[in-house]
A and B are shown apart, each in its own frame.
Chain A
Amino acid sequence: MSAFPRQGPAARLEFAAPRRVRRAAAAAALLGWTALLFGWSLDPERAFFAYLGAFVYGITLALGALALVMMAHAAGAKWFVVVRRLAESVAATLPLFVLLFVPLLFGLEQLYPWVPPLDGLEGHARHAVEEKQAYLNVPFFVARGFGYLLVWSVLAAALWAWSVRQDETPESAPLARAVAWSGPGLLVFAFTATLAAIDWVMSLDPGWYSTVFGVYFMVGGMVGALGLLLVAARGLERAGPLAGALAAPHYHALGRLLLVFVALWAYVAYAQGFLIWIAGLPHEIGWYLTRLDGGWGLVALTLVAGHFALPFALLLSRSFKRSGRRLAVLGVWMLAVHYLDVFWLILPALARPEARAHWLDAPALAAVLGTATLVGLWRLTGHAVLPLHDPRLPQALGYESE
């Protein structure tokens, strides 16, 4: 770590995406969009569900990264400075999601039962939808969606702009603004992300509601974002740009944070499931009955084991948390189970007997993630992978932890 050139030429730190990675992302995006378009012409309903899953997955990762950056600023975490630029570049893909939101608008009728005509609804669900017309109507839904995306895009773009401006100047004014806006930013984020979770995911089943659902949505994103951050950090450490900057204590801190969010996810998931289970009210338990029926029950069990028990047990170990290699492997795993979680939330709403994994899910994921990766790499290219001139950078590089 001492070998790291703190005052050395910034050129060495400048990020240039390897052509191989850029090409892979571009190919995934191109193939993904083409296949998705083709699939849409065959089975529009299933295509929209696949796309909603990929969209929610991608945006929760970006939102998780945004929240992590703001949390680190608000808490004054010094060690996080080492990986902050990576998290910022993930969050900086949020403006892309304004565009990615547009295709969803063409599938609202296929996706959301509350969109008129309310043919498939009866009993409690129909009554609930009729009562919620003031909120659940198409124009308001679209306006709200763009509203959230605008707020997040502005937050992410501002944090990114301040951060790269800090690279140019020794004054710490840009950083001070980022810190000052992170506290209120977190409040705005919590509020909008909760509403987005209600709009995009919860309203797939308009008769059902859970007050903790927004937290579940956000914490799932944090877990995914931390997984992504671990993979990216380890990758850049191996490939060169971050070599010598990242050491066991940084991984230790990231591992501890992941442990916290894995436990928080389990807590929220349990609290929601337990309260609904013990009350056993017909209009609440139905959501779970669908998601525990047949193969979905297996998915739910996999989530309990893979999204909580396994990472929790592994992350208890100190030596595991201090190993970048092991954490990166776990990061890949967390990214996978987070997708499974999103899939499990969304797909059972597609009331079809064959509502299981479908070939269209792969191109949808490739399209969203490929495009987002391209945007993230494009943002990062030409900038240092470490926030230079951040007054806490030396302390962050020398971070020690027991």
Chain B
Amino acid sequence: METTADPRRLGLLAEYDNPADLVRGAASMRERGYRRLDAFTPYEVPGLAETLGVARTRLPLVTLVAAAVGGTLAYLIQWWTNAVAYPIPVGGRPLHAAPAFVPITFETAILFAGVATFLGVLVLSRLTRLWAPIDEIDGFERASVDRYWLAVDRRDPSFDPERTARELEDTGPLRVVGPPSRPSLGIVRCLPPLILVMLPFLAGCDVAGPEPNFSLERMIHQPRYDAWEASAVFADGKAMRDPPAGSVHAGSVLGPPALVEGRTDGRWVEQVVPEVDAALLRRGRDRFEIYCAPCHGIDGEAATSVAQSMSLRTPPPLVDGDARTLPPGRVFHVATYGYGLMPAYGHQLSIGDRWAVAAWVEVLRLRFGVPLESLPPALYERARRELEARDEEEDRPALPEPAVGRQRQGLEREVER
């Protein structure tokens, strides 16, 4: 039931002891022209709302609007995060992937609608108000037990204190009463339930023990050990515990040291450990050109713009200079753990991939510095032809005939320095 509990509206009230009398009373007052009527009953009385002419609740509208707002909001959030603020293409689907946004849009609309309906019931039926002047009438509390009240609004055009009282009496109530004479401090009435609600929070206070503590110090200084602290608890005097003997560090790879570390008895393995075949070399080339070539160059000569930028500690060429003589075991180890500024790739490349890379480095070394004229005649002719054609195309002077590879290497080295 809607409650008109505003003190300015309270005109007269009639108390009945059964719902039928109330409905009859309400109907008779309606017949006499009263329109601003209200009733208070312990439960929903069938037919009462129709008799009083209570308008249908606006709750469905609240639900609908909340659902629309929730759905729109959820869709916009998804669109903005996925297509605008942080676009990540997934599986070739469009960034603004409307079908994928539907479930969250739907669920959020339901959530908003549900919460709004719940709050709407509380607010529209004024359950949020803990006290109203009408509560001051003696015996009114029985409206929630076994009595049925009819209220006439003071602002009803037909309202007249004396005539209305007479007419209410005619409907056969137990009694007719006016508004409470004594205005009450409503807030005072609200305090007990509020205090009751807040009482459980006291359980969080440590004031009941033998030594009451009102400070917050104990939240700052908590009895616990930090790492590496001394402790009297353990025999070795350390707060930290050693892992049990034989523990293996999580994620460690177990296997023959030659394979997983690239060395045996402190010496670098001189040969690629897995069997080298075409597939391994293809894989090695593939990984090398993805992970290593950005710094060390496609050909391993470290003639890259990244290398040029790192002028203080240049990534070395792998096919020339000091690094040329590093055995495959060492190359594998560096690929695994990194070296100097070079990060470790053990997490990105599997053991097989790192050996494949080491094998490909061997290939690059074999290939490096081979003089043109040492090629078989047919191949030599073809290489010359193609190199000249390229140089003409790029409008560069033809290179001197012998040892083309080395000469170019030298020039580039100078540029690099």
Contact = CB atoms under 8 A, between A and B. Distances in A.
A280 B64 CA distance: 35
A209 B64 CA distance: 37
Interface string A142-153: 000000000000
B93 A278 contact: yes
A280 B93 contact: yes
Contact of A277 (B60, B64, B99, B103): B99
A270 B92 CA distance: 20
A278 B64 contact: no
B207 to A, nearest CB: 53
Interface string B86-117: 00000111000001101100000000000000
Given A316-B64, A318-B60, A273 B99 contact: yes
Interface residues of B, number: 9
A270 B98 CA distance: 12
B60 A278 contact: no
B284 to A, nearest CB: 33
Contact of A280 (B60, B92, B102, B103): B92
A270 B106 CA distance: 12
Contact of A274 (B64, B91, B92, B102): B102
A348 B64 CA distance: 38
A52 B49 CA distance: 54
A220 B360 CA distance: 62
A1 to B, nearest CB: 16
A280 B99 contact: no
Contacts of A273: 99
Nearest to B103: A274
A155 B100 CA distance: 41
A54 to B, nearest CB: 32
Nearest to B56: A318
Interface string B25-68: 00000000000000000000000000000000000100010000
B23 to A, nearest CB: 16
A332 to B, nearest CB: 26
A270 B102 CA distance: 9
B60 A274 contact: no
Contacts of B100: 274, 278
Interface in A280-321: 280, 316, 318
Interface in A172-196: none
A74 B353 CA distance: 65
Contacts of B102: 270, 274
Interface in A191-226: none
A277 B94 CA distance: 12
A97 B400 CA distance: 92
B93 A274 contact: no
A261 B48 CA distance: 34
A274 B102 CA distance: 9
Interface string A309-337: 00000001010000000000000000000
Contacts of A270: 99, 102
B102 to A, nearest CB: 6
Nearest to B100: A278
B225 to A, nearest CB: 49
Contacts of A318: 60
A316 B93 CA distance: 34
Nearest to B49: A402
A280 B99 CA distance: 13
A278 B102 CA distance: 12
A273 B60 CA distance: 31
B320 to A, nearest CB: 48
Contacts of B64: 316
Interface in B141-183: none
B100 to A, nearest CB: 6
Nearest to A402: B56
Interface in A223-271: 270
Contacts of A277: 99
Contacts of B93: 278, 280
B71 to A, nearest CB: 13
Contacts of A278: 91, 93, 99-100
Nearest to B67: A316
B210 to A, nearest CB: 62
B311 to A, nearest CB: 48
B109 to A, nearest CB: 13
Contacts of B60: 318
B406 to A, nearest CB: 52
Interface string A352-363: 000000000000
A312 B294 CA distance: 58
Contacts of A280: 91-93
B89 to A, nearest CB: 13
Nearest to B91: A280
Nearest to A267: B106
A274 B92 CA distance: 15
Nearest to A279: B91
Contacts of B92: 280
B111 to A, nearest CB: 17
A277 B91 CA distance: 11
B98 to A, nearest CB: 10
A274 B100 CA distance: 7
Contacts of B91: 278, 280
A280 B97 CA distance: 13
A318 B103 CA distance: 26
Residue among B92, B93, B99, B103 with most chain A CB within 10 A: B99
Contacts of A316: 64
Contacts of B99: 270, 273-274, 277-278
A282 to B, nearest CB: 13
A156 to B, nearest CB: 36
A134 B92 CA distance: 37
Contacts of A274: 99-100, 102-103
A185 B185 CA distance: 66
A292 to B, nearest CB: 12
A278 B92 CA distance: 10
A319 to B, nearest CB: 10
A367 to B, nearest CB: 38
Nearest to A318: B60
B256 to A, nearest CB: 42
A275 to B, nearest CB: 10
A280 B92 CA distance: 10
B316 to A, nearest CB: 46
Interface in A41-61: none
B372 to A, nearest CB: 50
A34 B93 CA distance: 50
Contacts of B103: 274
B69 to A, nearest CB: 16
A402 B34 CA distance: 25
Given A280-B93, A318-B60, 15 more contacts: A270-B99, A270-B102, A273-B99, A274-B99, A274-B100, A274-B102, A274-B103, A277-B99, A278-B91, A278-B93, A278-B99, A278-B100, A280-B91, A280-B92, A316-B64
5 contacts: A270-B102, A278-B99, A278-B100, A280-B92, A280-B93
Task: Please give me the 10 A-B residue pairs with the lowest Cβ-Cβ distance, nearest first.
Answer: A274-B99, A277-B99, A278-B100, A270-B102, A280-B91, A274-B102, A316-B64, A273-B99, A278-B99, A318-B60
